[in-house]
Amino acid sequence: MNNEKRLEKVIEKLWLVFIIIIFAELFFIIMLYIILNMAGKINSGIHADNFNKVKTILFSIYTVIIICVDLYFYFKKILGTKSIIGLPCLECTVQDYVIRKYKNESKIEYEVKLLVKCLKDGKYYFTYGKYSYCYFNNIYTLNNRKIRSIKVIREDKSVVEIGDKAYLYVKRNIYPNIKIMDKFVIIDYLKYSLINKNLDINIFNKVIFFEGLIDVEK
């Protein structure tokens, strides 16, 4: 598969994710509408005008939020990936899963990124947050609220293993603030840790941070 075809497949995947996000947003707004109408009927003592004002404010806030989310995803992820078509494709190998734990409302979630090593120059590369055009499907299991296992899954349902080949597209190098602690690294206020026990967290002193894409599809 040539580089352009590879990136076109990535963009197709991002469009699918984008459509799923839009349907989820529409589902939520329908549920919000139903719940607010039920609340209005239950609390019949509330003045109708006041209740309608509350509904209008809530729907306005939600609309602004989803527009911002959709615009960010479209311009940053989809158009961002299109912007790297034509850039050199560098072969690399997956060195480790890099994970970040965060709270989504009352639920703990895990973001998974990849640390890779370029076969051409032998250097480590990592992209994250708003600089990353990557979207990895992943599954994980927990034991006492701690990760027991975590896997990145390709489109063909195969697992991305440490040592597997991947493809690197570097739009530009970036220079974040990093602080290396005992078992984790803080990158621009985001806390990441490694899964591979054979790698030391101080590896991030050697990492090249970049804006771009890591493609793991075969």
pLDDT tens per residue, range 112-153: 899 999 999 999 999 998 899 887 888 887 777 677 788 888
Is there a single domain that holds both residue 111 and residue 46?
no
Q: Give the pLDDT of residue 85.
A: 84
End-to-end CA distance of the chain: 9
Is there a single domain that holds both residue 73 and residue 96?
no
CA distance 192 to 184: 6
Is there a single domain that holds both residue 149 and residue 42?
no
Q: Give the pLDDT of residue 206.
A: 92
| Residue 1 confidence class, pLDDT cut points 50, 70, 90 | low
CA dihedral 45, 48, 53, 57 (to 10 degrees): 70
Domain count, the chain: 2
CA distance 11 to 152: 18
pLDDT tens per residue, range 93-110: 999 999 888 877 677 778
Q: Give the pLDDT of residue 2.
A: 61
Taking 80 as the threshold, does the pLDDT of residue 202 lie above it? yes
One-letter identity of residue 17: V
Domain boundary, last residue among 55, 82, 109: 82
Q: Give the pLDDT of residue 175.
A: 94
Is there a single domain that holds both residue 179 and residue 126?
yes
CA distance 164 to 160: 7
Is there a single domain that holds both residue 61 and residue 108?
no
CA distance 167 to 160: 13
Q: Give the pLDDT of residue 92.
A: 95
Domain boundary, last residue among 53, 82, 111: 82
37 Cβ contact list (under 8 Å, min separation 6): none
Taking 60 as the threshold, does the pLDDT of residue 61 lie above it? yes
Burial of 149 per CB tally in 10 Å (0-12, 13-18, 19+):
exposed
pLDDT tens per residue, range 4-26: 777 777 788 888 888 999 998 88
Is there a single domain that holds both residue 36 and residue 55?
yes
Instruction: Output the average pLDDT for the chain.
Output: 85
Q: Give the pLDDT of residue 46.
A: 58
Question: Which helix (H) or strand (E) is 108 found in, with range?
Answer: strand 107-118
* Residue 175: C-alpha distances to residues 30, 66, 141 (Å): 43, 30, 33
> Which residue, among 171, 170, 151, 169, has the nearest Cα to 161 in the 3D structure?
151
Q: Give the pLDDT of residue 158.
A: 92
Q: Give the pLDDT of residue 75.
A: 86
Residue with tokens 């050199």: 88
In which region does residue 38 sit, left (phi positive, over 0), alpha (psi from -120 to 50) or beta (all else)? alpha
Q: Give the pLDDT of residue 98.
A: 92
Is there a single domain that holds both residue 168 and residue 184?
yes
Is there a single domain that holds both residue 101 and residue 28?
no
Domain boundary, last residue among 60, 82, 104: 82
**Owning domain of residue 69:** 3-82
Q: Give the pLDDT of residue 127.
A: 94
| Residue 48 confidence class, pLDDT cut points 50, 70, 90 | low
Is there a single domain that holds both residue 43 and residue 98?
no
Is there a single domain that holds both residue 34 and residue 113?
no
